[in-house]
Structure 1
């Protein structure tokens, strides 16, 4: 069973003081630098999905086998599977509520490919929205997002992605290139990576100065950036072994202060 984890803070107590020192460090770094990479051992421990609870993470990762084709990415030559869901999170109570399904629209002057375009994606499955690991992830991210804004309510948009590359080809996790999402916090959580070369994540200032560049390789690796003052993008992926397809599974979650 997972420990209770809500937007008021992670359940894990790693320093004996009632807090979580690595998560507090992440909050401070995110607030001061606008970007932070949280290593998988810290993330999984905070979620209660490490060690003997690894089976819980494996069950969570299995939801990526139930994603559906993204027709908009296909128009750009990339095979990408996904679903989409919208939640509300209240920091004061830790409450997380699934909102009615809707079209996905990014604000104007953020994503150059889909600027203010209505996109229709299949909803998250009930099994996914009820998964305790997902709920723990949203609680952890809510606590981290609190370092950027003291809002009374977060609008939380959840995007599980699988990008697939085959022999002789590449796939673009972010075909729009470096971009903003028009939110407060953007997070990318690596769920699985199989037979993949490439996929380097980069965060830069609006002027193009690089703040961080890293390749999410191990399950549980988490990249966070303040979307109000940064741009982000991911390089192309391709198979290591051309005889087998490659896939990169990521959970992208955004938080917007409302």
Structure 2
């Protein structure tokens, strides 16, 4: 995995503190899998249970329009900074600001909701609350709107998998995090984060489940290169969990 100074941390440094410092100074941070899994209590058995939810995702019809085989679900939440309370809000369409993802400019997209089993999994809430501990370095908002997107991208010998069919883009939020859940039979999947002038801040090809890439979405752009099968006779897959935070007032409330 190739990365630059925005990734990793000094020995003995708290991962949340390291993430805060890097986001404030560089705009991005690559949290090693061991740090993430330790921070949320994700030992081997809980991680296997959590990753099994990616077998329950639904086809993404909008990605299919671009020839991409992608599965996903979607949920929206309210997070209170004062006490760390996380509450679901009504399920509805997913809309991104006009100045972010140009592929879906002005388009309301509808996705299947998160399953009850996913919502009840302790690692889901612990992951979101970990991001909630990091987010205040970018904004001291008392309340945040949180979007949660589990994704699976699939590739075959004759159809590469594109994790970001829109290319390098912003999500139109304040903080975006992409957590690698698992990757199988795949090459590619290089993640890059760019600064406002186009400089490459981080480039990494995560392979270890639990690797967590965070970015200040207000001043960085991100994208992931396509994946292809190692064994061309079998499909390749890449599973991630994307969690985004933005102050509730900036998106019109819940």
Provide the TM-score with structure 1 as the length reference: 0.90
Q: Distance in 2 between matches of 1:169 and 1:135?
A: 34
Q: Does 1:77 align with 2:77?
A: no
> Of 7, 10, 26, which residue of structure 1 is paired with 2:19?
26
Name the structure 2 match of 1:128: 118
Name the structure 1 match of 2:192: 202
Structure 1 portions without partners, runs of 5+: 1-13
Q: Does 1:65 align with 2:55?
A: yes
| CA-based RMSD | 1.2
Q: Distance in 1 between matches of 2:125 and 2:202?
A: 28
1:206-241 CA-partner distances (Å, limit 9, x unpaired): 321111111121100000000000100000111011
Name the structure 2 match of 1:37: 30
Q: Does 1:256 align with 2:249?
A: no
Output aligned runs, 1:145-224, within 5 Å.
145-224=135-214
Name the structure 1 match of 2:4: none
Shift in Å, 1:168: 2.5
> Of 89, 100, 121, which residue of structure 2 is paired with 1:99?
89
Q: Distance in 1 between matches of 2:19 and 2:100?
A: 26
Structure 2 portions without partners, runs of 5+: 1-10, 249-254
Shift in Å, 1:169: 2.2
Q: Distance in 2 between matches of 1:87 and 1:218?
A: 28
Q: Distance in 2 between matches of 1:138 and 1:209?
A: 29
1:68-91 CA-partner distances (Å, limit 9, x unpaired): 100000010110000000011101
SS of 1:86's equivalent? strand
SS of 1:63's equivalent? helix
SS of 1:190's equivalent? strand
Moved more, 198-207 or 240-249: 198-207
Shift in Å, 1:129: 1.1
SS of 1:159's equivalent? strand
Name the structure 2 match of 1:119: 109
Q: Does 1:235 align with 2:225?
A: yes
Q: Distance in 2 between matches of 1:141 and 1:233?
A: 20
SS of 1:146's equivalent? helix
1:112-166 CA-partner distances (Å, limit 9, x unpaired): 1001210000000111111100000011011111211111001000000000001
Q: Distance in 1 between matches of 2:25 and 2:120?
A: 34
Provide the TM-score with structure 2 as the length reference: 0.91
Runs of 4+ in 1 over 3 A off after TM superposition: none
